[in-house]
């Protein structure tokens, strides 16, 4: 019962915030600077978009955005997610923040990506181009991502306008 009440409260807050055009997920440039300084963020330039959750830096390093999953090649919304990430970060200077792990099993750097005061991992979920995915120990922002995904689902943004199984395949 408590779980349903919590979900109902979150939904109510989202509806009220939406009605009054208030953002529950605003990240100012000042917040990004604080996070970057506190967590030892590194600056880099994005040179290529691989897909909706992976990009290459001008240094040749490959980045996998922590906490999100976008549709794979050949799936619905693959092109849209890839294009959206390109619009957000391609040929831009970004700030990269590590969670716990340095790399994934494919050798990609695992990072939270910020550009122009905006947290891109979160933005991809918020806009409906990605869903939350967790790979412990990199779970620092899971609760925040859950809230943003719920908002995107309620608003039927992007992938949430379709049947999830059609986008990601069988569960």
Could you count the other beta carbons within 10 Å of the beta carbon of residue 146?
A: 14
Model confidence at 141: pLDDT above 80: yes
- pLDDT tens digits along 20-59: 443 444 444 454 455 544 456 999 999 999 999 999 999 9
Is 124:53 a contact under the CB 8 Å cutoff? yes
Give yes or no for a contact between 148 and 122, defined as CB atoms under 8 angstroms apart.
yes
Residue 3 in this model has a pLDDT that exceeds 70: no
108 in active site: yes
Residue 45 a catalytic site member: no
Of 42, 72, 80, 144, the active-site residue reads: 72
Q: Which of 21-30, 60-69, 71-80 shows the lowest per-residue confidence on average (mean pLDDT)? A: 21-30
Catalytic residue of the set 108, 111, 147, 149: 108
- Structural domains present in the chain: 25-168 (2.40.50.90)
Per-residue pLDDT, averaged over 148-161, amounts to 95
The answer to whether the Cα torsion of 39, 124, 47, 30 is positive or negative is negative
User: Is the model more confident about 141 or about 117?
Assistant: 141
Q: Which residues pair with 94 in a beta bridge?
A: 44
What pLDDT does 158 receive?
Answer: 94
Q: Is 62 a catalytic residue?
A: no
């Amino acid at each position: 019962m408590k779980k349903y009440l919590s979900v109902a409260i979150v939904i109510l807050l989202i509806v009220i915030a939406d009605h009054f055009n208030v953002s529950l997920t605003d990240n100012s440039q000042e917040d990004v600077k604080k996070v970057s300084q506190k967590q030892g963020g590194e600056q880099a330039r994005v040179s290529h978009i691989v897909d909706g959750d992976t990009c290459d830096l001008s240094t040749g390093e490959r980045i996998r955005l922590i906490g999100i999953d976008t549709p794979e090649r050949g799936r619905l919304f693959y092109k849209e997610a890839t294009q959206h990430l390109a619009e957000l970060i391609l040929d831009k200077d970004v700030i990269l923040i590590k969670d716990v792990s340095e790399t994934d099993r494919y050798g990609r750097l695992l990072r939270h990506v910020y550009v122009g005061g905006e947290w891109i991992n979160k933005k991809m979920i918020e806009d409906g181009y990605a869903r939350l995915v967790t790979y412990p120990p990199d779970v620092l922002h899971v609760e925040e991502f859950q809230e943003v995904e719920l908002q995107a689902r309620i608003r039927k943004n992007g992938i949430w306008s379709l049947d999830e199984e059609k986008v990601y395949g069988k569960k």
